[in-house]
Every structure is written in C-alpha cells, then in structure tokens.
Structure 1
Amino acid sequence: MSVTSGSKRQEGGVGETIRVIFHALIIALVIRTFLFQPFNIPSGSMKATLLVGDYLFVSKYSYGYSQFSLPLSLPLFSGRIPGGMTPERGDVVVFRLPSDTSTDYIKRVIGLPGDKVRVSDGVVSINGKPVKMDRIADFVGEPACPNPFIDRVRQWRETLPNGVSHNVLDCSSDHTRFPQTTDEYVVPPGHYFMMGDNRDNSTDSRFSSVGFVPFENIVGKAQIIFFSVNEGEQAWQFWRWPVSVRWSRLFTIVR
C-alpha cells in the first residue's frame, strides 16, 4: 500500500512539474510575441545612448503588430494590426532590415513619412530646418569611433522638431567613411528614416544597404535596459558580475 501510494505521489509530482514548465513556456511565448522581446546590443552605432553589452526590452505593442511580431515572422497578414499609434521622431526602434528581413537593427527615428532629411557638415536638417545642436562634455571611457585608439569623442545634445533630445557622437575628426554631407532624402509614405546616435559609425538610412524602413518592418520600441555588461564581457559569466556588470545602467529607460 505504501509503495503504491508513494509511486502515485511521485508520478503526480513529476506530472505537476511538467505542467508548470509547460505553462511557463506558454506564458513566456505569449509575453515575447505580444508584449516584450529581449534584445542585446552588439555594436556601437547607438553610443552613447546604448552601449555594447546592453540588454533591453522592446515593447511589441507600441505600434501594433506586423508579421515580424510573430514567431518565425510567419506571413499570416500584411500591414499592422491594430492600427493607431505610429513612431514619432526620436523613438528608438528595432526593425528588420529591408534588404534582409532575418536581420534586426536598432536605430533612432529621425524622419517621418513625407519628411525631407539632409545632413550638412554633420548637422541634420528636417524639412529645411537644421536641428538644434548644443555642445556637451566629451564621451569618454569606451571606444566609439572606427579608430579604436580614439578614447575621447565630441558629443552634442540634439533636439528634434518635436522637442525630443538625445546625445549624438561626432567622430568626424577620425576621417571616417560616413558622410558629413548628403543629398536630400524624401521619406516615402509608410516609411521612416533611421539614424544611429553614433553618426560617424552607423550604417543606417543614409546607406542603400538600409534605406527607408517600411512601417511593417518595425518590430517595436526600445523601452528599458534590464541588464548590461562591459564591452568584451559575457553576460552568462555570472562569477564576473561584480566587476563586469554596469550596475548604474540596470533598469534605465531608453530615451
């Protein structure tokens, strides 16, 4: 009698564990599909806003859902559902590269549909008006330019026409291949013009490899940094966390 009872309890315990794990996986899938998806930053194109080694949550509901919100990007529908909110200038968004929809990029929205965007001597103009640029303290501490030996980079506070402000870096003294002056870009309907905050080290809408980004390709809006390790460190090496984690960046809002 006791052996049978014990076996039933053991089987019940195993079954309950399996059910808990299954339910947890379903909940995680629902959260990842409809609410928040984690991403990590592999490059310095968004410095100083986002650093290599940052881990952040992207809200997938901010602009509605497209096929790229779904697991495996299943093409079950076109456009976005439900309609409503659209990206605003200054939003930091994750999107699928138009030329390779298996690749995720993260940049800042600079131009909206119908906008005319031009870069002149490193200053962005939107619809013929240069955005406000205020010189602030240099960015130091981590390599940000194509030349890794430059450890101090000029930094500006850029204010877009809607009042959103953010920091941008200026590596122009490094003689980079990134254009300081461009032609005028006219953003087509239903598309957005993206730029990295590290302007001289960012492949973005200024380049044909990225170009204008269709609204449908936007995965979601970057919201919060939930974890961060120093560049070159591995997040899974928990024994190094006392020295590798950037504690001051944890749970900071992405702006």
Structure 2
Amino acid sequence: MKNTNETNDLLSWVKTLGFAVLLAVGLRYFIFTPTVVVGASMMPTFENEDKIIVDKIGPKLTNYDRFDVVVFEFNDNEDYIKRIIGLPGDHIEYKNDSLFINGEKYDEPYLDAYKGALTDSGKLTADFTLDAYLGETVVPEGHFFVLGDNRRKSLDSRDASVGFIEQDKIIGKVRFVIYPIKRMQIIKD
C-alpha cells in the first residue's frame, strides 16, 4: 500500500511540474517574451542592457497606436526597439525640432529631458520629410514609421536600410522594464 501511495504522489508531482513547465513555455513563446535592449538608440527611455518584457498577443488583438514602443524583426539576427511615430496614411514631418503629423503639431514629452540636456545649440531631431528620406509622401498601408528616442544616435525609419516597418515584422509592444531594479517600471500606453 505504501508503494502505491508513493507512486501516486510522485505521479501527481510529475504532472504538476509538467503542467507548470508547459504553462511557462507557453507564456514565454506565445504571450510575453523577455528581451534585452542593445545600444543607446532609445535613451533615455531605455538604456543599453535594460531587460524588458514584450507583450506579443495584446497588440494582435487590438491595434498598434502612435507612440507605442515596439520590438520588431530587423533581420534574421537582430530585433530593434523603437517608438511608432507614423501610422498607415500619415504624413510625417519634422520642423524646428517639432513633430508634425498630417500638418498637426504633436508634443513628445518623453523627449523633453533629452532636449533640455543638450549641450550644444543643435536640434535633437533634424528637420526632415518622408519624401526626402524614403521617397513617399505618406506611410504605406500595413506599415509604420518608427524612431528611436535618442534621435541623434538611432538607426530607424529615417534610414533607407530600415525604412517603413511592416506590421507583420512587429514582435510586440514593450510593457515592462524588469532589470535593473532601479529602472523597473510599467510602460504606459
């Protein structure tokens, strides 16, 4: 009798551990994924080697919005983290360090600290139009225009090697910074 109870207890533990492993793997690969920020292109919002959590399923059930921070597949070996600035159909322009979308000026409060810390008399974001950089007047359907918050040191949609980002290439929306502890935060929509 003792062996039967021990066998049942062992089998129960194996089932529980197996379920926990499957649940963890499912969450990791299908819903949330941890990622490490590489480089300085999103400073000061994210710093090099910040550990973040990307929500892979939420945005697929709703839509990506302007100013969402997303991770996308740049190529087979690299993922990039950038901020969505332009949605399909948007006309994007920068003048005098100010963002204009479809002719309307937009505030970018996440850049205020960076602009205030500039030690030269230059602009954080150089003047540009979509047409000048990418030969398009509006963001194409099914694509997004993305920029890094560190506008002077970001390889983003302004560069033809990156260009407009296909919606299918977006892995998900950044939801949390989990490490280092002093930078831990929830990323708000």
Give the match for residue 77 of structure 1: none
Taking structure 2 as the reference length, the TM-score comes to: 0.78
Q: Which has the higher strand share?
A: 1
Say which of 51, 74, 95 aligns to 1:120.
95
Give the match for residue 40 of structure 1: 36
Question: How do residues 73-112 of structure 1 correspond to structure 2 at under 5 angstroms?
Answer: 85-97=62-74, 100-112=75-87
State the alpha-carbon separation in 2 of the partners of residues 224 and 40 from structure 1.
12
Give the match for residue 144 of structure 1: none
Question: How do residues 216-255 of structure 1 correspond to structure 2 at under 5 angstroms?
Answer: 216-228=168-180, 246-247=181-182, 249-250=183-184, 252-255=185-188
CA deviation after TM superposition for structure 1 residue 21, in Å = 4.1
Identity of aligned residues (%): 32
- Shift of the 53–225 alpha-carbon distance from structure 1 to 2, 3 Å rule, reads same
Q: Secondary structure at the match of 1:166?
A: helix
| AA aligned opposite 1:85 | T
Q: Secondary structure at the match of 2:20?
A: helix
CA deviation after TM superposition for structure 1 residue 227, in Å = 2.0
Consecutive unaligned residues in structure 1, runs of 5 or more: 65-83, 133-157, 159-164, 229-245
CA deviation after TM superposition for structure 1 residue 184, in Å = 2.6
Cα RMSD, aligned residues only: 3.1
Taking structure 1 as the reference length, the TM-score comes to: 0.60
CA contact (8 A) 1:47 1:197 kept: yes
Consecutive unaligned residues in structure 2, runs of 5 or more: 132-137
State the alpha-carbon separation in 2 of the partners of residues 9 and 41 from structure 1.
47
Q: Secondary structure at the match of 1:38?
A: strand
Say which of 206, 209, 215 aligns to 2:158.
206
Q: Secondary structure at the match of 2:128?
A: coil
Q: Which has the higher helix share?
A: 2
Give the match for residue 141 of structure 2: 189
CA contact (8 A) 1:114 1:187 kept: yes
Give the match for residue 61 of structure 1: 57
Q: Secondary structure at the match of 2:111?
A: strand
Count the aligned residue pairs.
Answer: 179
State the alpha-carbon separation in 2 of the partners of residues 181 and 40 from structure 1.
31
Give the match for residue 47 of structure 2: 51
CA deviation after TM superposition for structure 1 residue 17, in Å = 5.6
CA deviation after TM superposition for structure 1 residue 166, in Å = 2.0
| AA aligned opposite 1:224 | F
Output one character per residue of 1:18-64: Cα deviation in whole Å (capped at 9) or x when no partner.
Answer: 54443232111211233211111121111111122321211112222
State the alpha-carbon separation in 1 of the partners of residues 38 and 50 from structure 2.
8
